[in-house]
Amino acid sequence: MRKALYVVLSIVAAGAIMASMTACGASKADVAAKNLSAEAEAFKIPRRIIFINGITDKYLATVTGYCSVETASSALGGSLEVTCQTRDKQGNLLYKKDYFGLSDNVTYMVEQLDPVSVSTAHYTVIFRPGTIVPDIDANP
C-alpha cells in the first residue's frame, strides 16, 4: 500500500515539474534536445563515442552502442564515464562501464547513429520506480 502511495506521489510530482517546464516557454529545439538526451541516457538511442588525439588527428578509441555518457573535470584534466547496455546470448541485459581520461590534446565526440522521433510539445520524464521507491515490506 505504501509503495503504491509513493508511486502516485512521484507521478504527481513529475506532472508538476513537467507543467512548470512547459510554462517556461522553451523552444521546440530545447524540448527536442532534452527529450533526445533523456532517451539516449535511458539506453534507447545508439551512439558512437570517438576519442581523438588533437595533435596527430588520429582516433584513439571508439565505443559504439546504447551508451550513457557522463563527464567530470579536475585540475589535471577531465574524464568521461561511458556506460553501455548490451545483451548476452540468452537476451539478458548486461551493462559495461568504461572510464576515459581526457587531456589538453585528447577530445571526444558523441554521435547519435540513428534519427529518432521525439515530441517537441511535451517533455519526456523516465521513471524507474525500483530506484525511486524503496521496497518496503508492509507486513513485517
Write the pLDDT tens digit of every residue in 25-50.
678 888 888 888 888 888 999 999 99
d(CA 5, CA 28): 34
> Which pLDDT score is estimated for 8?
42
The C-alpha cell of 73 is what?
A: 573535470
For residues 65-87, average pLDDT: 86
d(CA 114, CA 116): 6
| pLDDT tens digits along 81-95 | 999 999 999 999 999
| Every domain of the chain and the residues it spans | 2-114+125-132
pTM of full prediction above 0.85: no
